[in-house]
Structures are given as structure tokens and as C-alpha cells.
Amino acid sequence: MEMFIDGAWHASDAPRMPVTNPRDGSQVDTVPDGAAGDAEAAVASAARAFEAWRQVPMTERVRIQKACAQAMRDSAAEVGQLLHLELGRPLEACIGEIARSADLLDIYAEEGLRLQATMPLGSAPGEKTIVTRDPVGVVVAITPFNYPITLLMFKLGAALIAGCTVVAKPHEDTPLSTLKLAEVFHAAGLPAGCFNVVTGTGRGIGASLVAHPVPRKVAFTGGTAAGKAIAASAVGTMKRLTLELGGQSAAIVCADADIGKAVAAIARHGFANTGQFCYRVNRVYVERPVYDEFLNSMVAAVGKYTLAAPGGEGDLGPLVNDRIRANSETQVADARAKGARVLCGGARPSGAAFAGGSYYEPTLIADATHDMLILTEETFGPVVGICPVDSAAEALRHANASRYGLAGFVFTRDLARGLTLCEGLEAGSVWLNDIQRSSHHVPFGGMKESGLGREKGRYGVEAYLEYKTMYLSYEVPA
């Protein structure tokens, strides 16, 4: 596939990069490994489109965005198939991602209708003050591989309804679904240049986009180190930033918790998408009276998960590439060397069916300690560390003793204790007694080194708007 710029497929002179299927290592397609010239073409297209798009009445922007959302649903099978091939996740889950992302587009559209300017009272005769909102401008949206469409919609849906235009750079492992979606949106009526897609590496075309003087905002989801580099570069042109970065999210299981509910939620959330998402349960602190019961129940739950071999079905797909898989292997080896028990998993699956893919068994590590990587660094794989504690207060101290602050989870039947722990967790989102998907209507983002700003709902739209104050003077009729 080629890049998608100014409403059309854009041939690039850049070298080609392969896009491979992580289930078997086969090549799915190739895309350009773009450079500064491709970035310039995309930004110029977005800048031209911005001058017209910002003037489009909100009701018309809403109509177009809702048409794009419906087009996503209509093409969910086609786009989902591309996502399945490039990411390796089971097909049904890939199609589900497309449909759920369309819902967020609709929600952002409805939030656009609720935006208002204000006219504060108290001005002198012949004077009025209006506080209004202007779109930021051209936006660079840089997205990761794990949920490429959902995390793009976090940014694109908010930016478009605010009146901005977008240059998107998907991760080099998963560009195909984003490229296809740009074509789908253009066919659904989104004007040329409002949604451009370039391909390449973060250090290549990504860096060119961030440093370019025209874009006024960068919205990025990815690793903390990359986010810091983007922030440092963006300072040069004072770009606005939304950064959703890494996580090392902790769950606290109190002695009075419903262990069955806690295990079901933690197992489901810790291993969804083969552990490849930022706010998954990475580590669990369990009070000692229920520690053994929790471990036994977790082993039983996780032991039921199956791996989806090439051409087959299963609960978990592969990791997106061998580099991501190596992180899980490193953390498991580190835990073993320091005395932890590997209760299940802890290796690549055997058998010829898995030989060509980036698979890793779902893994539980018991008796984890804070000199181990599993309790301190993001895993981004199907490995969960479990640590016994003597009290909920000790668990809270451990949970907060991290440079990350994206999500936290608490399980207890005592509502007062639960609310106290939730309030005490230094995290942008906290769940009590269950772990649902993050809602499209409320803010999502992290504290500390887990990021800057919030996405979703009205909070996400506001991140793409600038306040403007206008002072009006006029002659008062006699």
C-alpha cells in the first residue's frame, strides 16, 4: 500500500518496509519508509484543508463525522481483516475494535454540538466580552501497534470535530488498517486533506512531523521514552501535546475480597490482547490470608487460555514481533533468577504450528519482589507478577512507588476501604471490584510519567481547542 495524502494514494520514492504477520512471519504487504519530503507533502495538504474545514459549520462537521462512523461499521470486516493480518489478534476481536472505535466517533460528534462560546456579564455599557474556542490547527497523530484504530480515533475523532486536520503516522508494524480507513473516510465524504496517513519509523518521518513548524499539536500514544523525546522536540515550536504513555498498573486484592470476581477480572484484563496494552494489570498485591487461594484460582483461570496458531482460533494471539516478545522473556528470566515461582507458562509454546510466530505462553509469577522487573517495568506481554502483602496500606505504598500512574484496581467488600484505596492510588483511572473497558464518555490518561492530558468525551475535544477572548466596543444609542 502507499501513503494516503490529500484524498488520494500517494506514491513515494522512499524505500519499502515489509509488513509481516506475527502468527507465521509471512509478509502481508509493504509500505513506504517515508522521510522529510513525505512529511512535508502531508502537512501541506492538512494545512490547506484546515483553512476550509475550520469554517465548516459544526452541524455539517457532525454529519460528516457520523457518516464516517457508519462507514467504519460497514467496512469493519474488511478493515478488521487487515488488522488481523498485521497484528495477529483473533479476527473477531479485530472486527470488534473497528465497531467500538466507530462508537467513539459518534460520541465526539455529539460533544461537538455541545461546545459553546460564552459572554460574561458585568461589562460596562458599550462593551462586551466573548470567550470562544478556536481549533488548534494541523495535528500530528502518532499511534502504536496494539490498538491502532481505537487509539487513532481517540485523536482523529476529537481533532476533526474541533475543526482541526490530521496527519497520522501509524506504527510501522500495523499501518495497513489505518491506511485503509483513510480511504474509507474519504469515500464517506471527509474532504481531501483532513485525514492524511504517512508511513515510516518514529525516528524517521515521525521526527520530521514533530519538528515541522506548521503543525500546532502532537497527540501520541506509546512508550514513555519516545513520549519524552517528542515533548523535548515539540518545545522548539511550542506545540500543544497529548501524551498517553507507559503503565505498570497495580491491582490490590484485600483479604475480604470476592476472590472469584477478582480472579475473573484480573485474568481477563491482564491477558487481553496478549497483554499488549498500556493499562492492563501488570502486578497484583494480595493480602496474605487469601494469597494461596488467589494463586490457585488464577492458575486455574489462566490455564484455560489457548493460543491461536496460524489459521486457527484461540483466546490469545502472538506478540506483534520478536522484540516485544523478548521483553516478556527477559522479565520472566529475571524473576526466576531472583527467586520467584513461575506458576504457569514462562516459555515459548512448543510445536511446529507456533515455530514461525512471536508467541509466548500466558504466564503467572508468584512471590515477586521489587528488585524484579515484573513489578517495576512495563511488560507489554502476557506476564503478570503477584506479590504477597501484610496489609492494604502496604499494597497502596507499593502501588504508588512507581514512576507510572496510568491505572489502578482494587478488590474489597468493604466500600469505605475500597474508596479510600481508590482515592489514594496515584493513577488517572481506578476500578473498584471489577474491570470494565474504559468508557468513551469520561477522561482517559495518566499521571506522573504515564503522560500529559486526557482523551475521550468532551475532555478529548477540548484538548484540540484554544480559548480566544474577544473584547467588543460599540456606541450605545442615545
Active site residues: 244, 278
Q: Which grid coordinates belong to 408?
A: 489502578
Q: Which grid coordinates belong to 428?
A: 488517572
* Distance (Å, whole) CA 373 – CA 368: 9
C-alpha distance from residue 421 to each of 189, 370, 398 (Å): 48, 20, 12
Partners of residue 4 on adjacent β-strands: 9, 197
Positive or negative: CA dihedral 382, 383, 389, 395:
negative
Do 192 and 53 meet the contact criterion of CB atoms below 8 Å apart? no
* Distance (Å, whole) CA 238 – CA 387: 43
Q: Environment class of residue 378 by beta-carbon count within 10 Å: exposed (0-12), middle (13-18) or buried (19+)?
A: buried
* Distance (Å, whole) CA 104 – CA 83: 18
Partners of residue 284 on adjacent β-strands: 251, 386
Positive or negative: CA dihedral 141, 146, 149, 153:
negative
DSSP string for 68-115: HHHHHHHTHHHHHHHHHHHH---HHHHHHHHHHHHHHHHHHHHHHHT-
**Any idea what DSSP says for residue 253?**
E
* Distance (Å, whole) CA 208 – CA 108: 29
Alpha-carbon Rg for the chain in angstroms:
24
Report which residue type is found at 238. Answer: M
Q: Which grid coordinates belong to 445?
A: 490518561
Closest CA relative to residue 269, chosen from 236, 301, 308, 228: 301
